[in-house]
């Protein structure tokens, strides 16, 4: 016998559970009650496991931020050290080196980088999906080969995420190139035949 509750979303299952609990009476079939409890227990177990996983990621990111705050506070303390300077240049130099080392070491943020790359990955998938959906609906007038190549180029960005610089996530370059293309189209200097021949 199929469990009628297994196809429900979490919210639907909770609502069904509340509704079911309100309608319970002495004639309620025990097998249905048992199925609902089993399904709720399974979902709760999955939710708890996911919550634990997210908490570990959050803890790792919080630890990275704490290290950065500490390093920045140490670097900021150098101002006070200069104010208290009594002629011991060597002490100030050592303090500067220590602060610099602390800042350099806290730049490594693997948990934060992993999280940001997962969000960026979703963005790349979203962009490729939107472009392909626009082509399927007729809003992009290109050949299947061109659309395949362009979507492949968008998706290939995934390979470059781990080593990408912060500037590569800014929109400036895309806006600049699009403005240049728009100007070429307005002036009639853009020859698509030449571009196709270059490929």
pLDDT tens, residue by residue, 46-68: 887 888 888 888 888 888 888 77
pLDDT for 192 equals 56
> Sorting pLDDT into bands at 50, 70 and 90, what band is 132?
very high
pLDDT digits 0-9 by tens, 12-36: 767 777 776 666 666 767 777 777 7
Q: Is it the case that residue 148 has pLDDT exceeding 90?
A: yes
- Residues 149-163 have a mean pLDDT of 91
Q: Is it the case that residue 125 has pLDDT exceeding 80?
A: yes
Answer whether 39's CB lies under 8 Å from 5's CB.
yes
Q: Is it the case that residue 43 has pLDDT exceeding 70?
A: yes
Break the chain into its structural domains and give their ranges.
10-106, 110-198
d(CA 142, CA 110): 40
pLDDT for 131 equals 92
Per-residue DSSP letter, 27:
T
d(CA 140, CA 146): 11
Helices (H), the chain: 10-22, 30-83, 89-106, 110-136, 144-160, 172-187, 192-198
pLDDT for 116 equals 85
d(CA 194, CA 140): 20
- Residues 143-172 have a mean pLDDT of 90
Q: Is it the case that residue 71 has pLDDT exceeding 70?
A: yes
Q: Is it the case that residue 199 has pLDDT exceeding 70?
A: no
Q: Is it the case that residue 193 has pLDDT exceeding 60?
A: no
Q: Is 108 left (phi over 0), alpha (psi -120 to 50) or beta?
A: beta
Q: Is it the case that residue 89 has pLDDT exceeding 70?
A: no
- Residues 141-160 have a mean pLDDT of 92
d(CA 98, CA 126): 44
pLDDT for 1 equals 46
Q: Is it the case that residue 178 has pLDDT exceeding 60?
A: yes
From residue 155, give the alpha-carbon distance in Å to each of 90, 112, 130.
53, 22, 12
Per-residue DSSP letter, 199:
-
Residue 24: φ, ψ to 5°? -65, 135
Predicted model pTM: 0.52
pLDDT for 5 equals 58
């Amino acid at each position: 016998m199929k469990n009628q509750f297994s196809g429900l979303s979490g919210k639907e299952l909770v609502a069904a559970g509340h509704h079911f609990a309100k309608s319970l009476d002495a004639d309620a079939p025990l097998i249905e009650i048992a199925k609902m409890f089993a399904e709720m227990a399974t979902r709760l177990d999955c939710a708890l496991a996911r919550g634990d996983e997210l908490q570990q990621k959050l803890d790792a990111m919080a630890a990275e931020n704490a290290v950065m705050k500490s390093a920045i506070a140490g670097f900021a303390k150098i101002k006070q050290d200069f104010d208290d300077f009594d002629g011991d240049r060597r002490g100030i130099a050592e303090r500067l080196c220590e602060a610099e080392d602390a800042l350099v070491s806290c730049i490594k943020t693997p948990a934060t980088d992993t999280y940001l790359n997962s969000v960026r990955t979703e963005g790349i998938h979203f962009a490729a999906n939107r472009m392909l959906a626009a082509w399927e609906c007729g809003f992009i007038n290109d050949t299947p080969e061109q659309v395949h190549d362009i979507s492949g180029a968008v998706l290939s960005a995934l390979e470059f995420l781990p080593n990408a610089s912060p500037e590569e996530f800014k929109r400036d370059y895309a806006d600049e190139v699009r403005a240049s293309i728009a100007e070429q189209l307005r002036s009639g200097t853009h020859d698509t035949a030449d571009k196709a021949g270059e490929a």
